[in-house]
Amino acid sequence: MLSMEPPRTQADLNFSLFGIPVRVHPFFWLVGLLLGLDGSNNEPKRMVGWLVALFVSILVHELGHAFAARRYGHRPWITLHSFGGLASYDAIDQNAQEKIVISFAGPLAGFMLAGLLVAGIAVSGHLIGFELSFFPVRFVPFLTQAGDSAYAPLDLMIYDLMFINIFWGLINLFPVYPLDGGQIAREILVERSPYEGVRQSLQLSIGSAIGLTVFALVNGSIYMAFLFGYLAYLSYATLKSYTGRGGPW
């Protein structure tokens, strides 16, 4: 989500996947733990499952961007940090279509991972169906804790994988800076109106971020409300800087 890479530290985890360098900043794990605290089930196995789901989901998302960038001849690298991930690459003279494809490839990779999970659940005979909710896939747990109807750690990890890749993927497509949807909206609007497109995309970002903040507050998600409230402010500050203090919205 950050548009700039965080500084390197001695605690970074570095490896290569499919020929793409990957760096995991230590704050990724810290913020991930904080996000996983729900006040009801914070057992070690549950938290480990959550971190695995978060790590796999964010990495797959960034790999989607990276593969698309490499398809266009760029050399990408991935950084996982405190607020998500970033697929970087050296690019010169990109056209709007290329930028849009690379931006959309991240959420698409997450949707494909969710689709594979749904297919696996269906093949195993555990799929019940779908419903309109934060977690649209209904399935019979593979494992249950003895004497308890709560999901076992494996089932909770599957739940987390589905939730992150479907719900977070959809949220990421909203036209809010610096989310992928915000990048896509900017390219579309600039392509239509080179002189007004950036300003229009920032206005759209502010309105969308405010709407998502209200939605989060209504649903009791304080973290999500804080995040999109902050993004609304960033878009507003960027707009004022872009148009000038005395410039019109």
What is the pLDDT of the chain when averaged over all its residues?
Answer: 88
User: Could you tell me what percent of the chain has a pLDDT over 70?
Assistant: 91
Contact (Cβ atoms closer than 8 angstroms) between residue 109 and residue 117: no
Q: Which residues pair with 129 in a beta bridge?
A: 138
pLDDT tens digits along 106-121: 999 999 999 999 999 9
Distance from C-alpha of 224 to C-alpha of 222, rounded to nearest angstrom: 6
Question: Tens digits of per-residue pLDDT, 164-212?
Answer: 999 999 999 999 999 999 999 999 999 999 889 999 999 999 999 999 9
Longest dimension (CA), the chain: 66
pLDDT average, residue stretch 65-90: 92
Q: pLDDT at residue 246 above 50?
A: no
The 3-state DSSP class for residue 22 equals strand
Confidence check: pLDDT of 123 > 70: yes
What's the pLDDT tens digit per position in 202-245? 999 999 999 999 999 998 888 889 989 999 999 999 999 877 75
- Average pLDDT rounded to a whole number, residues 141-148: 60
**Model confidence, pTM:** 0.89
- Which pLDDT score, from 0 to 100, does residue 194 have? 87
Exposure of 31 in the CB half-sphere (CA atoms within 13 A): 14
Tokens representing 108?
């698409």
Query: What percentage of the chain has pLDDT greater than the value 90?
Result: 60
Statement: residue 8 has pLDDT above 60: yes
68-99 per-residue burial string, b: 16 or more CB within 10 A, e: under 16: bbbebebebbbbbbbebbbbbbeeeeeebebb
**What pLDDT does 209 receive?**
96
pLDDT digits 0-9 by tens, 45-71: 888 899 999 999 999 999 999 999 999
| pLDDT value of residue 156 | 86
- Say how many C-beta atoms besides its own lie within 10 A of residue 62's C-beta: 27
| pLDDT score of 33 | 87
Domain ranges of the chain: 175-237
In the chain, helix, strand, coil percent, each to 5? 60, 10, 30
Low-confidence winner among 28-37, 40-49, 128-137, 204-213 (lowest mean pLDDT): 40-49
Query: Is residue 134 pLDDT above 90, yes or no?
Result: no
For residue 248, pLDDT over 80 is answered with no
Amino acid making up residue 68: A
Residue 147 has pLDDT above 80, yes or no: no
User: Which of 35-39, 92-96, 158-162, 174-178 is the least confident region?
Assistant: 35-39
Q: Once rounded to an integer, what is the mean pLDDT over residues 132-138?
A: 80
